[in-house]
Structure 1
């Protein structure tokens, strides 16, 4: 990752992202004057620095790409690189559920953040969400995958192991000072900070301040969203307990909510607690009349140890190997209808991009037909493709040399 210069100091980006409290005062001073930090991913003259936005998040500060300057960053190594500027994405329209703007993300989700009565709350989130005329809405998983992609967390540049501090910083940079369902996004979404023992009190206070906004009265219920790593989901006496990393806080969830999620996200669900994987969750929270917090809806995304999104345990194994081998690659995420034929991974450190396919379910007729269609497309387009068909050992897969 590049060196970042601000307030007269230069630090590796990962240091700034992993330790936001350590650099809070420096970033606050740089935000006031000159009003930006400088990215060192490419050589630049003093008169034309590659600027980064400094955004406040609570008592901390995070870096984001400067509007219209994403394409100036290094495409291979810099997480601030973007092929298009916010608000000018290819095919973006006012009806899109999720849009990038200079201030941050503007999202419309198919949930309700405020409900007038809580006498009956359905697992899907309560009353029908109010929709802007003509504008589509996105599910929780689509929201998570979109910010993961925009934050370039589905890509690997061949560097050191990524931790939650990097994910937190890059997700917050994408969310920015945007809006979700018409509400300021920082008021309704909390992204857990990386756990540091020295910051334990501050992390707890930040979460409690956010959770205090989630209130239920006799007339209305105000909800909130938490993005975090799942630690475990355990059966309790009357329901389930959802435990997340980075905090000792836990949330209750009804049996039907958990059963629905376990069925919808079965591959991720089976990897919760596995040391080789990470499972990221978007939790929609509500407070009961008794004052307890409960999960009324959730979505989870399976990831590798380096937080690369994956669709199965076999993909986790492949992503972990690619990271261990120091390869540069990305995971295409299927965000729109018609993208079923995307490869599982794409190597970008070969002379031409090389697709990687992790095949399974050979006994399923529909899956075999899709596999044959993919193979035909690769052959027709002369796209190099590496295949792994478990249960063959992963070590038997020979990868092309990096250029």
Structure 2
């Protein structure tokens, strides 16, 4: 729920950020560099939540510097202050510079075969070189959430097409990839999102032969992009894609191959990485191939000749429209919201955010959060549930709830009329 007040006009942030929304572009052109500053309505306090209107080839909104922690945890413009705050000894995991982000990921993107000793120019020794500032980091899954959020893929508008596909995901993330730096390089130089490649003058009849040829062309171009982005020795690409299946190595060494949609070659998890993935994402691994969902992988990939090895991997569950969900119950709610043409946001966890609702409705007059309480018989979970309900009450948020174990079906959603 990120409603922006711009000159007295209220507009949802996702619509304002849509470069193809003619009304939003006209509205921002009117107030670009003006004396009236738009602001976010996510909370009703006196904290600064001003919005800055910027311009490239089109107008777009971004939060004012150093205000990300002032927004509600469920707001699109929110970033956990723990990830952006400087301290005496640490730089933050996310450094903001206007609409650009410099991100430190908690994973290796370079393999160093001959490490150089850490020598400080000031202190002159390896021991004292460590006195320089270190930097906090974000997990690989947190980084995937950040990309999804910055590309507005966790938002659904009533006018969205119900067949959002991998090309929409690739297009939206690629649009913002040049505004994110990872390891001193733009994400766009490392990123590979396998997708369909269509001819610009494509007006053919889309029969089986057409799709076979298009698939062959798409796989070839995606594979070439991965090859090019791993061409520097010891440098990793960051691959984001839909997992098709897992394949055990014939060599009985514990290695597991990951088949990514629209990639020809398998990406191989060494045995220790495969064990780590099973421990962290075992439930999601068991859901690969289910027809009502996607399992999205983000992984760092290194290449040796034609062999692609995964350095680290994280997984995320989405429904068929690529809305992230934390459970099968949430998936049912997301699908029902889409079927009823509702506008909503799925807040995503970037750090230790204590009070993130499962969903937020963006098309109601009042402020509504949606909660799915799917666990029973757990005292800690029950206490946490009561804390969240009280938190929403204190913030003047109305809370819709579904308890699958006790309710016969999904309750009706709050009215959007």
The verdict on a shared fold, with TM-score over 0.5 as the criterion, is yes
* CA shift digits 1:53-108 (9 cap, x unpaired): xxxxxxxxxxxxxx95369xxxxxx9x864515x6653555633234546854221
Residues 1:224 and 2:237 aligned together: yes
Contact between 2:143 and 2:350, CA under 8 Å: does it hold in 1? no
Hey, what's the Cα distance between the residues in 2 that align with 1:38 and 1:48?
16
Contact between 2:145 and 2:350, CA under 8 Å: does it hold in 1? yes
Aligned to 1:276: 292
Distance apart, 1:118 and its partner CA: 9.3
TM-score normalised by length of structure 2: 0.69
Contact between 1:334 and 1:340, CA under 8 Å: does it hold in 2? no
Pick aligned residue for 1:294 from 309, 326, 330: 309
Hey, what's the Cα distance between the residues in 1 that align with 2:95 and 2:319?
27
Which secondary structure does the structure 1 equivalent of 2:153 belong to?
Answer: coil
Residues 1:42 and 2:35 aligned together: no
Hey, what's the Cα distance between the residues in 1 that align with 2:109 and 2:405?
45
Pick aligned residue for 2:174 from 158, 172, 175: 172
* CA shift digits 1:110-131 (9 cap, x unpaired): 2222222299xxxxxxxxxx99
Hey, what's the Cα distance between the residues in 2 that align with 1:142 and 1:166?
21
Change beyond 3 A, Cα 1:396–1:105: closer
Hey, what's the Cα distance between the residues in 1 that align with 2:346 and 2:96?
21
Residues 1:84 and 2:66 aligned together: no
Contact between 1:243 and 1:251, CA under 8 Å: does it hold in 2? yes
Larger radius of gyration: 2
Which secondary structure does the structure 1 equivalent of 2:386 belong to?
Answer: helix
Hey, what's the Cα distance between the residues in 2 that align with 1:301 and 1:131?
37
Distance apart, 1:221 and its partner CA: 2.3
Contact between 1:314 and 1:358, CA under 8 Å: does it hold in 2? yes
Unaligned segments of structure 1, at least 5 residues: 1-36, 51-66, 72-77, 120-129
CA-based RMSD of the aligned residues comes to 3.4
Residues 1:69 and 2:70 aligned together: no
Change beyond 3 A, Cα 1:184–1:333: closer
* CA shift digits 1:15-67 (9 cap, x unpaired): xxxxxxxxxxxxxxxxxxxxxx875143739x8699xxxxxxxxxxxxxxxx9
Distance apart, 1:145 and its partner CA: 0.4
Distance apart, 1:249 and its partner CA: 2.8
Could you list the structure 1 runs, at least 4 aligned residues long, displaced by more than 6 angstroms after superposition: 47-50
Distance apart, 1:144 and its partner CA: 0.5
Which secondary structure does the structure 1 equivalent of 2:323 belong to?
Answer: coil
Change beyond 3 A, Cα 1:193–1:93: farther
Which secondary structure does the structure 1 equivalent of 2:24 belong to?
Answer: coil
Instruction: State the aligned residue count.
Output: 328
Aligned to 2:268: 252
Aligned to 1:153: 153
Aligned to 1:345: 359
Hey, what's the Cα distance between the residues in 2 that align with 1:263 and 1:308?
24
Unaligned segments of structure 2, at least 5 residues: 1-18, 33-50, 70-83, 116-129, 199-210
Which secondary structure does the structure 2 equivalent of 1:357 belong to?
Answer: strand
Residues 1:115 and 2:106 aligned together: no
Hey, what's the Cα distance between the residues in 2 that align with 1:83 and 1:103?
6
Which secondary structure does the structure 2 equivalent of 1:376 belong to?
Answer: helix
Change beyond 3 A, Cα 1:41–1:172: farther
Hey, what's the Cα distance between the residues in 1 that align with 2:246 and 2:407?
31
Contact between 2:170 and 2:195, CA under 8 Å: does it hold in 1? yes
Aligned to 1:11: none
